[in-house]
Amino acid sequence: MDFSIFSVNLAIALSLSAIALVLTYALLIRPDQKKTKKSAKV
């Protein structure tokens, strides 16, 4: 029981950390892409 609960908590923590990494990656990269696209158009 304890091991299963630990594994579930570990999976949830890993998924949340992965989502956080994806969100930070999107927030950091998307503005850069917009800037590069604007500079490229200009």
CA 35 to chain centre: 21
- Number of Cβ within 10 Å of residue 37's Cβ equals 10
Distance CA 24, CA 18 (A): 10
Q: What pLDDT, on the 0 to 100 scale, is given for residue 41?
A: 62
Q: Is the pTM of this model over 0.85?
A: no
Distance CA 13, CA 34 (A): 32
pLDDT tens for the chain, 42 residues: list them: 688 999 999 999 999 999 999 999 988 877 666 666 666 666
